[in-house]
Structures are given as C-alpha cells and as structure tokens.
Structure 1
C-alpha cells in the first residue's frame, strides 16, 4: 500500500504500524511515531492499522547541542 513516511511516498506491505516500522528498518530504534498527525505510543503500535494514503511521521532522538 502507498503511504507517506516523513514526507516521502513509500510503498509498503505492512498493515499495522509496528510491522511498518520493522519493514522500514526502525524496529530496533527508540522512536516516536505519529499517524496522520496523532501521536501513537509504542504500546499501541501493534493495534494501529494502516490505510492507503496515511501519513506516518517517525522521529528519532538526536544528540548534540
């Protein structure tokens, strides 16, 4: 299905947020996620379905100052 990930169009096979993070290579990282502008806590990712056209934002922590 086609979704937008961090502003870029992507075609993924995953049907839920947790599987999408694995498919996109973020499963081992501590990230914050928002789907269509709404924060999704880590505990809810397996229960958060994806639909074509969804907008997923994935944020990682950055070190520095």
Structure 2
C-alpha cells in the first residue's frame, strides 16, 4: 500500500505503526509518530492500523553540537 510518509509517497507492506518503524529500521527510543495529525503514544504503536493513503509523520530526536 502507499502511505504519505513525512510528506512523500512511500510503498509499504506494514499494517501497523510498529511494523512500519521496524521496516524502516527506526529504533523506538527518541521517536515520535503522528498518524493523520494525531500523535500516537508508543503504547499504541502495535495496534494503530495503517491504511492506503494514511499520512504518517515520524520524528526522531538527534543529539549533536
């Protein structure tokens, strides 16, 4: 299916937020996810479904100087 991931079309086989993060090899620590402009708590990533055309934003904290 095609999602809109961080503003760009993205083809995925993931059915949930957790599966998408695993597919993208993104660690949950320091990561925030919004689906259709709603922030999804980490405790709900396993059960939050993704559908064709869903807008997903993934934000990761980066340290540096």
* Fold agreement, TM-score > 0.5: yes
TM-score normalized by structure 1?
Answer: 0.89
Q: Can you give the 5+ residue segments of structure 1 that lack an aligned partner in the other structure? A: none
| Residues paired across the two proteins, number | 64
Residue deviations 1:7-37, cap 9 Å, x none?
11100001111001111121x2420000010
Q: Hey, what does 2:11 align to over in structure 1? A: 11
| 4+ residue segments displaced more than 3 Å | none
CA RMSD of aligned residues (A): 1.2
Structure 2 unmatched ranges of 5 or more: none
Deviation at 1:57, TM superposition (A): 0.4
